[in-house]
Structure formats: structure tokens, C-alpha cells
């Protein structure tokens, strides 16, 4: 029964994000008709909020508040904020509304793991490494269902996507209060200095070379993740003007083509227990980095017509690229960090991936694209139309991933495998 309840939690957690994360670019460019330079700043809101909110939420759930209650409150507040996003009249106004939404949503990613791990660990005879991935896979299913719902109803460019996400967030927030209690495990921990007194002990993990390198490369891979989230759907939409009716399916339903990446996630998530038992975290992350190089390289040479197979293959590879560092990294922390700071460590991991990594990825990629791969031509009403050299852009991103891979092989020390309990 508890597995089914956590499955519902995982489904709704990522259904909320799937409603708008991939299609917000289409809403921005097609409906609001705002510029690409401002879009990069808007998309970085999730990164800015993840710089501090997951860590704060981790501290609170480690020391002061039941994790499931904090999780529910954050989702209710985030759902309310989503309802106000589409009414934004200027880019600046939309920036602040999305930022507030993300301040409440981003910490729930790590908290969802904390709640699931806490509940499962109390169940007799349950191996978290084996049981959690099949539960987490339903989060990806939720993301896909949301994305397909928005796309097939013709709402990729409309406000409906935000309203649907807001409703789902409110439902999950209320549902969270019915879950088994997840009390703070570090509440009665003896204080040994300011770090523990303020619940910041997880940051001391940076003193350990292995953890410091792990978090550094989690940040660098987080940057790669934001590149594909920010520009994948926009890339497919850019082909719209090149084809007359009937247009290729990838042009008619770009979000559905993008969802192949999430479908791929479901398969690779289920393979994680196998890889976690047989390989160390270093080998798993190396596989992930190789996948990122292929992901961007295939996008560079793909197109919706003759090169559609490359785009589809790129989306399939995305499942490996994402899962093998994100889900495996979360499990790595769960199995190697002391219980009293696990929630804080999970928040720290989310902060590095979706916070520092997201801000770095969105800001740096926006600057590189603007400076080297974008030209402007005159449009209607005196507006400038941006033309992006997508081939060179994706090759640049592939080169970045290759450099990260080489540095990781050299710097990371794999001391032990993460074994099944």
C-alpha cells in the first residue's frame, strides 16, 4: 500500500513540472512574443531559487519540521503562484512570478526523495536501492502525461499549461498531509559547533575530496541539463517556417517528440539498481557524460525530416544522460551519508544540480549563443527577429560535455561501490 501511495506522490511531483517546463519557451516566444535574450533570464529562475531553497528545506526537515508537512505547504504555495504566471504583462513581471513559484517548487524535488526514503526505510524487508527506482519512474510517467496533455489539447502556447500545473500542485499539497509522519532525525543531535547548531553540517561534506568533486561535477552536469530543457523544444519549433503543410510530425507536435526523452527515462530508471550493484558511482557518471556528448551531437545534425532519427535517438539517449547522474546521485547520497544530515545533503545535491548548475548553464549558454551563434534581421513593426545557428550551438554544447567528461575521469576518485543493503 505504501508503495502505491509514494507512486502517486512521485507522479504528481513531476506532472506539475511537465505541464509547463518544456513548453514555456513556446508560450514565451509565440504568445508573449518577447525576445530570446530575456528568455534566458526567465528560465534561470529555477536555478536561482535552487541556490538556497533546497538547502533551507533540508535544514528545516532535518531539525525542525516533519518533511511531509513542509512538502505539502510548499506545494500549496507553489500551486497558488502558478495561477498568476500567465497574466504577466512584461518580462520583468513574469520573472518575479516564476521566481516566486520556483522558490516553493524547487525544494520539493529533494524533499520528495527525503519523504520516500524515510518512509521506505521504516518498512521491514525493503531494500531502498531496489524499491525506489520503480517508484521514481512514475514521476517521469507523470511528466510525460502532463506534456502530452498540454500538447494534444493544443495548449503548448497557451496559459492552460500553468493552470493545470497549479491545480496538480494544490492536490499534491493536500495529499502530502495524509502521508506517514517523517519527523526530523537531527532534532536531538548534539551540537558540535556552528555548522551543526544551524543545521549546516551537510556543507562540511565539501571538506571531503570525493564529495567535493562529486558535487562540482553534479553542478557541471546540471548545466547540461538546463541546456536541453531550455532550448530543446525551441529548437524543434524553429523548423516551423521551413516547411509548408502538411508539416512533419516533429514540427506539428514538438513537445510530443521531446517527450520521447522522458519515456526513455522510465526504462533507464528501472536499470539503475543493476548498475548500482555492479559499478561504482564514477563509472555510472562517466556513462552519463558520454550520453550528454551524444545527446547534443545528434541534435546538431538532426532535422524533423530526413534527420528525424537523429533527434529521436538523441531523446532516447537523454534518458541515460539524466538518470545515470541524477537518480543514481540521489541514491549515492542516501547510502553514504549519515541519517542526521541526509535531507540536508539531498538539498545540497539539488542545489548544485538545479541551482548553481542551472544558473551557470542558462547564463553562460545565453551569452555564448548571443555572441557567437545569433544574427538579427528586421521584422514587422520594427522588431528584430533572431536567427540562431543551431548546428554550431549544439556542437558547442557537445564540446562542453566532452571537456567535463575528460576532467571527471582524471579528478574523481572512486573508492567504493554503492552496494545494495
Residue 150 reports pLDDT greater than 80: yes
| Higher pLDDT pick, 357 / 399 | 399
- Burial class of residue 124, CB neighbours in 10 A (0-12, 13-18, 19+): exposed
Percent of the chain exceeding pLDDT 90 equals 29
Grid coordinates belonging to 253: 507536435
DSSP string, 318-376: HHHHHHHHHHHHHHHHHHHS-GGGHHHHHHHHHIIIIIIHHHHHHHHHHHHHHHHSEEE
Burial 12-42 (b: 16+ CB within 10 A, else e): bbbbbbbbbbbbbbbbbbeebebbbebbbeb
The three-state secondary structure class of 195 is helix
Grid coordinates belonging to 291: 550520453
d(CA 414, CA 367): 35
Residue 295 reports pLDDT greater than 90: yes
Region 224-245 average pLDDT: 76
Grid coordinates belonging to 412: 574523481
Task: Out of 109-118, 178-187, 308-317, pick the least confident.
Answer: 178-187
Region 69-94 average pLDDT: 94
Most confident of 146-155, 227-236, 364-373: 146-155
Q: How far is Cα of residue 243 from the mean position of the Cα atoms in its chain? A: 32
d(CA 362, CA 47): 8
d(CA 421, CA 335): 8
Grid coordinates belonging to 230: 531550455
* Ramachandran class of 414: left when φ > 0, alpha when ψ lies in -120 to 50, beta otherwise: beta
The CATH number of the structural domain formed by 2-186+194-411 is 1.20.1250.20
Most confident of 51-65, 210-224, 273-287, 368-382: 210-224
Residue 274 reports pLDDT greater than 90: no
Under the banding of pLDDT at 50, 70 and 90, the label for residue 142 is very high
Nearest to residue 265, comparing CAs of 207, 344, 223, 319? 319
d(CA 258, CA 237): 11
DSSP string, 120-173: HHTSTT--HHHHHHHHHHHHHHHHHHHHHHHHHTT-TTSTHHHHHHHHHHHHHH
Asked if 226 contacts 43 with a C-beta cutoff of 8 angstroms, the reply is: yes
Q: What is the pLDDT of residue 361?
A: 84
Query: What Cα–Cα distance (Å) separates residue 20 from each residue in 161, 230, 286, 345, 389?
Result: 6, 11, 30, 28, 25
Residue with cell 527577429: 385
Grid coordinates belonging to 12: 504528481
Asked if 75 contacts 15 with a C-beta cutoff of 8 angstroms, the reply is: no
Grid coordinates belonging to 201: 553540517
Contacting residues for 169 by C-beta, under 8 A, at least 6 apart: 16, 75, 76, 78, 79, 82, 105
Residue 417 reports pLDDT greater than 50: no
d(CA 241, CA 379): 14
| Higher pLDDT pick, 167 / 303 | 167
Asked if 107 contacts 56 with a C-beta cutoff of 8 angstroms, the reply is: yes
Residue 12 reports pLDDT greater than 60: yes
Residue 188 reports pLDDT greater than 60: no
| Higher pLDDT pick, 155 / 73 | 73
Average pLDDT, the chain: 83
Residue 193 reports pLDDT greater than 70: no
Q: What is the pLDDT of residue 292?
A: 94
Please give the helix or strand (H or E) that residue 185 lies within, else none. none
Residue 105 reports pLDDT greater than 50: yes
Q: What is the pLDDT of residue 75?
A: 97
List the chain domain ranges: 2-186+194-411
Grid coordinates belonging to 382: 520594427
The three-state secondary structure class of 96 is helix
Residue 403 reports pLDDT greater than 80: yes
Residue with cell 524515510: 118
Grid coordinates belonging to 196: 551543526
Asked if 138 contacts 12 with a C-beta cutoff of 8 angstroms, the reply is: no
Task: Out of 49-53, 248-252, 254-258, 368-372, pick the least confident.
Answer: 248-252
pLDDT tens figures, 323-345: 888 877 887 887 777 776 776 78
Q: What is the pLDDT of residue 186?
A: 61
Amino acid at each position: 500500500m505504501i508503495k502505491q501511495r509514494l507512486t502517486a506522490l512521485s507522479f504528481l511531483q513531476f506532472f506539475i513540472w511537465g505541464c509547463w517546463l518544456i513548453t514555456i519557451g513556446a508560450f514565451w516566444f509565440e504568445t508573449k512574443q518577447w525576445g530570446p535574450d530575456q528568455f534566458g533570464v526567465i528560465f534561470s529562475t529555477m536555478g536561482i531559487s535552487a541556490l538556497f531553497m533546497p538547502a533551507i528545506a533540508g535544514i528545516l526537515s532535518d531539525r525542525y519540521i516533519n518533511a511531509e508537512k513542509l512538502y505539502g505547504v510548499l506545494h500549496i504555495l507553489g500551486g497558488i503562484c502558478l495561477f498568476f504566471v500567465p497574466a504577466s504583462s512584461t518580462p520583468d513581471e513574469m520573472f518575479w512570478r516564476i521566481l516566486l513559484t520556483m522558490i516553493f517548487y524547487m525544494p520539493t524535488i529533494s524533499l520528495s526523495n527525503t519523504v520516500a526514503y524515510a518512509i521506505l526505510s521504516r518498512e521491514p524487508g525493503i531494500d531502498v536501492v531496489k524499491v525506489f527506482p520503480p517508484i521514481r519512474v512514475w514521476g517521469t510517467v507523470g511528466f510525460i502525461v502532463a506534456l502530452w496533455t498540454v500538447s494534444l489539447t493544443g495548449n503548448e502556447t497557451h496559459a492552460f499549461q500553468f493552470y493545470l500545473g497549479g491545480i496538480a500542485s494544490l492536490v499534491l499539497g493536500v495529499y502530502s498531509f495524509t502521508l506517514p509522519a517523517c519527523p526530523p532525525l537531527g532534532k536531538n543531535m548534539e551540537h558540535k559547533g556552528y555548522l551543526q547548531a544551524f543545521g549546516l553540517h551537510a556543507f562540511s561534506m565539501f571538506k571531503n575530496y570525493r564529495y567535493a568533486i562529486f558535487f562540482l561535477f553534479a553542478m557541471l552536469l546540471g548545466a547540461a541539463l538546463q541546456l536541453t530543457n531550455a532550448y530543446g523544444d525551441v529548437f524543434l519549433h524553429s523548423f516551423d517556417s521551413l516547411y509548408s503543410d502538411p508539416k512533419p510530425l516533429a514540427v506539428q507536435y514538438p513537445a510530443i517528440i521531446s517527450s520521447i526523452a522522458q519515456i526513455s527515462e522510465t526504462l533507464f530508471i528501472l536499470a539503475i539498481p543493476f548498475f548500482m550493484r555492479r559499478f561504482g558511482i564514477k563509472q555510472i557518471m562517466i556513462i552519463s557524460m558520454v550520453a550528454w556528448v551524444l545527446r547534443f551531437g545528434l541534435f546538431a545534425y538532426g532535422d524533423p525530416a530526413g534527420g528525424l532519427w537523429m533527434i529521436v535517438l538523441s531523446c532516447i539517449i537523454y534518458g541515460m544522460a539524466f538518470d545515470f547522474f541524477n537518480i543514481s546521485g540521489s541514491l549515492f547520497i542516501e547510502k553514504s551519508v549519515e541519517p542526521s544530515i541526509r535531507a540536508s545533503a539531498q538539498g545540497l545535491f539539488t542545489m548544485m544540480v538545479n541551482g548553481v548548475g542551472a544558473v551557470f548553464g542558462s547564463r553562460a549558454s545565453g551569452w555564448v549563443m548571443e555572441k557567437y551563434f545569433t544574427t538579427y534581421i528586421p521584422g514587422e513593426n520594427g522588431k528584430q527577429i533572431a536567427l540562431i545557428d543551431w548546428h554550431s550551438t549544439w556542437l558547442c554544447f557537445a564540446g562542453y560535455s566532452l571537456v567535463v567528461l575528460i576532467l571527471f575521469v582524471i579528478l574523481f576518485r572512486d573508492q567504493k561501490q554503492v552496494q545494495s543493503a
